[in-house]
């Protein structure tokens, strides 16, 4: 039985997207691809509110997260860590042979502007990475406040993962001064996995020019050369790019502000549901994700059994990630999910509880 996904990614994909993806194949050096590529990157610039370059990479998000580190870290990187994916990004930075420090806060807490300020004031770093929305903990860090602090450190590359937040709220990449914004498409953008998107501003491209050992597959300069021809360095996942083309049209047809409001509404509804049912919220007020809710299992429910029972009813449920598995559970309300679908799931969950 197919299970409707309420896990925080991959998430449910609209049938129109699968339909768009089944268009006949084209060659990526044909003019049809250049047209598709140009249309998609232009729409992404609109979504991200930027005129920086936007690139399409055939990989999951971590491909580009690794690529960003290889291209942009020249000296030392501050990896801000507050959950599984940001912890992993530090590990990846080290595995790329870069000098880096993990600036850790406890899981469940946001990265704050103060922490960024005190860390970067040391003058030790030429790059920083952070995850806007830590999917493992349901914590959304205050990007505008952090961006304000980053203005004091123009020599530090501001590298931000927005995998599970993009399009759920305004993330104006240019205004925020993000040098490199990265996301995979299988979470907040509600597409099948396999495609990652990233931006690079002039500063990021200038930095990459001075960094050695950028590799090939994610070499930002290869992306620049090919972008000039509306193309990619290697054969891209053309079907997924057709899907993205379709999804961007759907997002603008819904209205971006309507999409933001829908996410806000579903987040509030899920947080209220959790609290009314005797669960806690793992993230503190003001740092709660708009795309998923990470609830604390205060009732000591056997989450593994709950997950199995929900699966039998046709719903995929997440019983926590990594070291907080079993102590927390996550309900995703991202992408194209509608409030009525969330209600349906909460009703089934009520029944099982």
Ligand X SMILES: Cc1ncc(COP(=O)(O)O)c(C=O)c1O
* C-beta neighbour count of 303 within 10 angstroms: 18
Smallest separation (angstroms) from ligand X to the CB of 134: 6
Q: Based on CB atoms, which residue is closest to ligand X, 289 or 348?
A: 289
Residue placing its CB nearer to ligand X in the complex, 87 or 227 = 87
Shortest spacing between CB 60 and ligand X, in angstroms: 3
Q: How crowded is residue 92: how many other Cβ atoms within 10 Å of its Cβ?
A: 19
The token pair that represents 349 in the structure block: 């969950």
In the complex, the smallest distance separating the C-beta of residue 322 from ligand X, rounded to whole angstroms, is 11
Residues within window 309-348 making contact with ligand X, judged by CB under 6 A: none
Query: In the window 147-166, what residues touch ligand X (CB under 6 A)?
Result: 161, 163-164
172 vs 217: CA distance, rounded Å: 27
* One of 3, 4, 62, 214 touching ligand X (CB under 6 A): 62
Q: Per the structure block, which two tokens stand in for 13?
A: 């994909």
- Applying CB under 6 A, which part among 58-66, 92-100, 277-285, 329-337 lies near ligand X? 58-66
Q: In whole angstroms, how close is the CB of 250 to ligand X at the nearest point?
A: 21
Residue closer to ligand X, measured from CB, 139 or 348: 139
Q: Which of 119, 127, 135, 137 binds ligand X (CB under 6 A)?
A: 135
Binding test (CB under 6 A) with ligand X, winner from 20, 61, 130, 283: 61
CA angle, 89 then 119 then 221, to 5° = 50
H-helix or E-strand containing 41? helix 31-48
Would you put residue 99 in left (φ > 0), alpha (ψ -120 to 50) or beta? beta
Nearer to ligand X, 18 or 62 (CB): 62
Contacts of 28-32 spanning 24+ positions with Cβ under 8 A:
28/231, 28/232, 28/235, 28/236, 28/238, 29/231
Footprint on residues 78-97 left by ligand X (CB under 6 A): 85
Helix segments in 50-104, DSSP class H: 61-72, 84-95
- φ and ψ at residue 140, rounded to 5 degrees: -110, 120
Per-residue tokens: 29 = 């050096």
Residue 33 or 330: the one with the smaller Cβ distance to ligand X is: 330
Output the smallest distance, CB 335 to ligand X, in A. 13
Say if strands 76-81 and 292-296 run parallel, antiparallel, or are unpaired.
unpaired
217 belongs to the binding site for ligand X (CB under 6 A): no
- Looking at the Cβ atoms of 62 and 260, the one nearer to ligand X is 62
Burial class (CB in 10 A: 0-12, 13-18, 19+), 235: exposed
- Minimum gap (Å) between residue 56 Cβ and ligand X: 14
60 binds ligand X (CB under 6 A): yes
Question: Closer to ligand X at the Cβ: 137 or 301?
Answer: 137
Interface mask toward ligand X for 165-194; x: CB under 6 A: -------------------x--x-------
Task: Report the distance separating Cα 282 and Cα 326, nearest Å.
Answer: 13
Q: Segment contacting ligand X (CB under 6 A): 21-29, 55-63, 72-80, 238-246? A: 55-63
User: Which is nearer to ligand X, 161 or 201 (by Cβ)?
Assistant: 161
Given 54, 56, 131, 287, the residue binding ligand X (CB under 6 A)? 131
The nearer residue to ligand X, 182 or 211, going by C-beta atoms, is 182
Between strands 328-332 and 292-296, the pairing is antiparallel
Count of chain residues binding ligand X (CB under 6 A): 12
Residue 314 — left, alpha, or beta (φ > 0 → left; ψ -120 to 50 → alpha)? left
Least separation in angstroms between CB 351 and ligand X = 29
Separation CA 345–CA 128 (nearest Å):
38
Residues that bind ligand X (CB under 6 A): 9, 60-62, 85, 131, 135, 161, 163-164, 184, 187
């Amino acid at each position: 039985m197919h299970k409707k996904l309420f896990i925080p990614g991959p998430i449910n994909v609209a049938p129109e997207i699968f339909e768009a993806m089944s268009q006949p194949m084209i060659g990526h050096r044909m003019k049809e691809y250049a047209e598709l590529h140009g249309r998609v990157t232009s729409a992404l610039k609109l979504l991200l509110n930027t005129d920086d370059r936007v690139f399409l990479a055939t990989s999951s998000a971590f491909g580009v997260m690794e690529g960003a580190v290889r291209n942009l870290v020249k000296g030392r990187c501050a990896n801000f860590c507050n959950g599984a994916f940001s912890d992993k990004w530090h590990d990846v930075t080290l595995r790329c042979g870069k000098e880096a420090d993990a600036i850790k806060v406890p899981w469940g807490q946001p990265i704050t502007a103060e922490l960024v300020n005190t860390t970067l004031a040391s003058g030790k770093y030429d790059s920083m990475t952070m995850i806007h929305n830590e999917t493992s903990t349901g914590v959304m860090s205050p990007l505008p406040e952090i961006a304000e602090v980053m203005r004091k450190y123009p020599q530090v590359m501001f590298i931000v993962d927005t995998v599970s937040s993009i399009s759920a709220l305004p993330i104006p990449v240019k205004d925020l001064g993000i040098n490199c914004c990265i996301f995979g498409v299988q979470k907040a953008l509600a597409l099948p996995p396999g495609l990652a998107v990233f931006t690079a501003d002039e500063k990021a491209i200038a930095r990459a020019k001075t960094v050695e050992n950028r590799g090939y597959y994610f070499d930002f300069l290869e992306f620049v050369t090919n972008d000039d021809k509306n193309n990619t360095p290697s054969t891209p996942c053309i079907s997924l790019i057709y899907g993205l083309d379709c999804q961007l049209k759907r997002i603008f047809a819904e209205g971006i502000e309507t999409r933001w409001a829908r996410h806000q509404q579903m987040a509030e509804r899920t947080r209220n549901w959790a609290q009314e049912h005797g669960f806690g919220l793992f993230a503190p007020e003001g740092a709660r994700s708009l795309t998923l809710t990470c609830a604390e299992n205060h009732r000591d429910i056997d989450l593994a059994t709950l997950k199995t029972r929900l699966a039998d009813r046709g719903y995929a449920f997440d019983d926590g990630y990594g070291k907080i598995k079993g102590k927390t559970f996550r309900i995703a309300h991202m992408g194209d999910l509608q409030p009525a679908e969330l209600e349906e799931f909460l009703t089934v969950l009520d029944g099982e509880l």
